[in-house]
């Protein structure tokens, strides 16, 4: 499901970073919905937080409208 979300977001927005962050944000939520052990959910939340920290520059470029799309525009 997370991979399908990534594909959908990239197809809709043409930004790989949007797909990545959307998938990272959705993963722990989906893990809760599907009843995964809490230790895995906690790890997923920490991994998502790390991904958002690592994408800080991408988020700034997205907000400024200067982020490159996957087709280079």
Is pLDDT at 4 greater than 90 in this prediction? yes
Tell me the torsion sign for CA atoms 41, 46, 51, 56.
positive
Per-residue model confidence as pLDDT tens digits over 48-65: 999 999 999 999 998 898
pLDDT of 72: 66
Per-residue model confidence as pLDDT tens digits over 7-60: 999 999 999 889 999 999 999 999 999 999 999 999 999 999 999 999 999 999
pLDDT of 21: 93
CB 5 within 8 A of CB 26: yes
pLDDT of 65: 86
């Amino acid at each position: 499901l997370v991979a399908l979300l990534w594909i959908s977001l990239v197809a809709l927005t043409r930004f790989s970073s949007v797909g990545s962050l959307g998938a990272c944000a959705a993963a722990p939520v989906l893990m809760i919905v599907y009843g995964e052990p809490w230790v895995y959910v906690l790890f997923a939340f920490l991994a998502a937080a790390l991904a958002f920290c690592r994408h800080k520059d991408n988020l700034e470029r997205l907000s400024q409208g200067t982020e490159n799309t996957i087709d280079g525009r």
